Chains A and B, each alone.
Chain A
């Protein structure tokens, strides 16, 4: 049994096979497609793409840009600049990162691109590690650009070369939308040979979106829609499968796998992995069947489009009709049920069971910050603590239960400011170091200019902890940043969050709450995960 099966070690196309996460397949696909730069901010489930490129030998040898960016907007803009210069660039982010870079992204469709540009958005239906389950396919449609949605790791790899070519042919950015179960699932992928990078060849047309030029460019974008649609109709990633069934199935991305798992080849089906929606294929399917069942991970994007395409008289089922759950990721079970397949008998749930939510690590500095904060704020019953995105969001859960809000990157400072403007006192913001440079700095400037009565805690663990310890853009610069933004020097306080320092930390917090203006407290101690890793590396 331990003899390798040669047909599996080498793929049908003669390439070698590698066991890769979906994220890794995307990264390697991009490198092999002649990538010159990846621009990204860490975010689950997209982080491993950039990490793979950072560690890859070919990328290193070629000097492919892979350093982390401050946020998704700076990433998107830098990638657009690289595309302007004629080279291939990849932007990676989790789905909510699309909101951060939306201005740059939507307008990149108006400027168009020169070198191929792929905008990779990793959606997180079921919110495994996210605050919502927004569907990035909406963004592609909104910006009027094509979207690729791989169904497996092999397609994820193959789509990178295809996507860069398509981007350069259309002169438009391409969105690639993946979901957690593809990003973080491993399978064998047949890989090819690396292509050379594009040479430097900057755009010669004006990318100046003054109204006169923008109107012309917008018209040009609209004129490309037919070519985008045709590319979808002809795409080998959009497949038709025929079987004598009354219900036709539209299976998008990884939904296709669950359909195949449940009913094999016994379905009249259109697999959708490239958008705009291949309308002719859907219409042909509808003509062959009595009704359509749309199966898609995320929000009912295609279900609504298909309803519009076929008109009110044609029955279309999916998440909106309750045939599939309205929320959460697809599972083999909910898809099998929607297809009318009975599932096997299951064991009853265990009686001796308790939820085990994630929690801050033992010895983590954020713990000491919350312990001190809770101790001081016990004397201020009207207080509110506005939280932010990172490991320290877990301070909302027992045993600390310190936070009243967590909305988006940076919102701690600005929400505290708004609440303070309304008269709330004390208004405290807790934000991590990486989140502060991502989106907190501008809000702090607003607060300084308004002399808002807020206390900002930048809990600095010298890394981007939640996503596994990536470099943090502001490390060693926080005092300088705060002073530069105009926070008064005597109200920028640094403490070391350790249990033995509790008297000092509580004293500092109390003083700064009592100061009627903007104060910043920076509790600074390295993340214990990265600390352990660094200690181990030193020993070896």
Chain B
């Protein structure tokens, strides 16, 4: 069994934390893992993505092939469609619904949302959900919660445990706040 995931968003939105948590859970579950990250220039407010590959068998390539991704997890709706050629026809997009507009030529929002709806996708205003949980900086954890049921190769519970492990050094409060945001994403039941 394998799961190829593209994580994407805009530099600074926290996709690497999502990758770290999935990586921690995968390592604990004894899965093979490869994770290609983006460091450097594009982190400055540009589009960023990370290729995350999980498998019960050894993995060769660090990069996912076109039409190979089972899941696109995105912090931003337009960014969720940037890597469409990598999405398998059986794959799914899990994305934040709220545009992050830092460019002058951002597409017209209604048309963008309409196009997204024609694709196999689920979306949620993760920032509002995170705020409602009292953790406005936990939008990425809401997104991970939304995506958790679709990851499949890892249980939802194992991802919860990984959140606890990864944030442990930041204290109990941070762990609890992030778990709450994660659970809100899971319970959105998309």
Q: Which residues of B48-76 have CB atoms within 8 Å of chain A's CB atoms?
A: 59-68
Pick the residue among B28, B61, B84, B104 that contacts A4 (CB under 8 A).
Answer: B28
Chain B: CB-nearest residue to A341: B65
Q: Which residues of B152-177 have CB atoms within 8 Å of chain A's CB atoms?
A: 154-155, 157-158, 161
In this assembly, does A357 line the interface, its C-beta being within 8 Å of a C-beta of chain B? yes
Q: Is the CB of B60 within 8 A of A354?
A: no
Chain A: CB-nearest residue to B119: A347
Q: Which residues of A1-31 have CB atoms within 8 Å of chain B's CB atoms?
A: 1-9, 19, 21
Task: Write the nearest CB–CB distance from A9 to chain B, whole angstroms.
Answer: 7
Chain A: CB-nearest residue to B87: A347
Mark interface residues in B99-140 (1 if CB within 8 Å of A CB, else 0): 000111111100110010001000000000000000000000
Enumerate chain A interface residues (CB-CB to B < 8 A): 1-9, 19, 21, 44-45, 47-48, 128-129, 181-182, 184-188, 254, 257-258, 260-261, 331-333, 336, 343-361, 391, 394, 398, 466-468
Q: Is the CB of A394 within 8 A of B155?
A: no
Enumerate chain B interface residues (CB-CB to A < 8 A): 10-11, 23, 25, 27-47, 59-68, 78-79, 81-82, 84-89, 102-108, 111-112, 115, 119, 154-155, 157-158, 161
Chain A: CB-nearest residue to B62: A185
Task: Write the nearest CB–CB distance from A83 to chain B, whole angstroms.
Answer: 29
Q: Which residues of B contact A185 (CB under 8 A)?
A: 34-37, 62
Q: Is the CB of B39 within 8 A of A182?
A: no
Given A354-B105, A358-B45, A466-B41, answer yes or no on A186-B88 (Cβ-Cβ < 8 Å): no
Chain A: CB-nearest residue to B67: A344
Given A45-B40, A185-B37, answer yes or no on A398-B104 (Cβ-Cβ < 8 Å): yes
Task: Write the nearest CB–CB distance from A114 to chain B, whole angstroms.
Answer: 34
Q: Which residues of A contact B62 (CB under 8 A)?
A: 181-182, 185, 187, 254, 257
Chain B: CB-nearest residue to A7: B30
Q: Which residues of A contact B105 (CB under 8 A)?
A: 354
Q: Which residues of B contact A345 (CB under 8 A)?
A: 67, 89
Q: Which residues of A contact B154 (CB under 8 A)?
A: 1
B84, B111, B155: which has the most chain A beta carbons within 10 Å?
B84
Chain A: CB-nearest residue to B85: A346
Task: Write the nearest CB–CB distance from A434 to chain B, whole angstroms.
Answer: 15
Q: Which residues of B contact A7 (CB under 8 A)?
A: 30
Complexed CA–CA distance, A468 and B44 (Å): 10
Q: Is the CB of A8 within 8 A of B85?
A: no
Chain B: CB-nearest residue to A333: B66
Q: Is the CB of B60 within 8 A of A343?
A: no
Q: Which residues of A contact B38 (CB under 8 A)?
A: 128, 184
Given A184-B36, A185-B35, answer yes or no on A332-B61 (Cβ-Cβ < 8 Å): yes
Given A186-B23, A352-B108, A354-B107, answer yes or no on A1-B36 (Cβ-Cβ < 8 Å): no
- A44-B40, A47-B39 known; 20 other A-B pairs, CB under 8 Å? A1-B154, A2-B29, A8-B31, A21-B37, A129-B39, A185-B34, A188-B32, A188-B33, A261-B65, A331-B63, A332-B63, A343-B65, A344-B66, A345-B67, A346-B67, A354-B103, A354-B105, A354-B106, A356-B102, A468-B39
Q: Which residues of B contact A349 (CB under 8 A)?
A: 84-85
Q: Which residues of B contact A347 (CB under 8 A)?
A: 84-85, 87, 89, 119
Q: Is the CB of A44 within 8 A of B35?
A: no
Q: Is the CB of B60 within 8 A of A261?
A: yes
Complexed CA–CA distance, A481 and B59 (Å): 52
Q: Which residues of A contact B25 (CB under 8 A)?
A: 2
Q: Is the CB of B44 within 8 A of A358?
A: yes
Task: Write the nearest CB–CB distance from A506 to chain B, whole angstroms.
Answer: 25
Q: Which residues of A contact B78 (CB under 8 A)?
A: 350, 352-354, 356
Complexed CA–CA distance, A161 and B180 (Å): 46
Q: Is the CB of B88 within 8 A of A358?
A: no
Given A2-B158, A257-B60, answer yes or no on A356-B41 (Cβ-Cβ < 8 Å): no
B66, B105, B119: which has the most chain A beta carbons within 10 Å?
B66
Which are the 8 A-B pairs with shortest beta-carbon distances?
A5-B30, A344-B67, A129-B40, A44-B40, A358-B46, A350-B81, A352-B107, A332-B65
Complexed CA–CA distance, A351 and B42 (Å): 23
Q: Is the CB of A394 within 8 A of B36?
A: no
Q: Which residues of B contact A258 (CB under 8 A)?
A: 60-61, 63
Given A182-B62, A347-B89, answer yes or no on A45-B39 (Cβ-Cβ < 8 Å): yes
Q: Is the CB of B40 within 8 A of A466?
A: yes
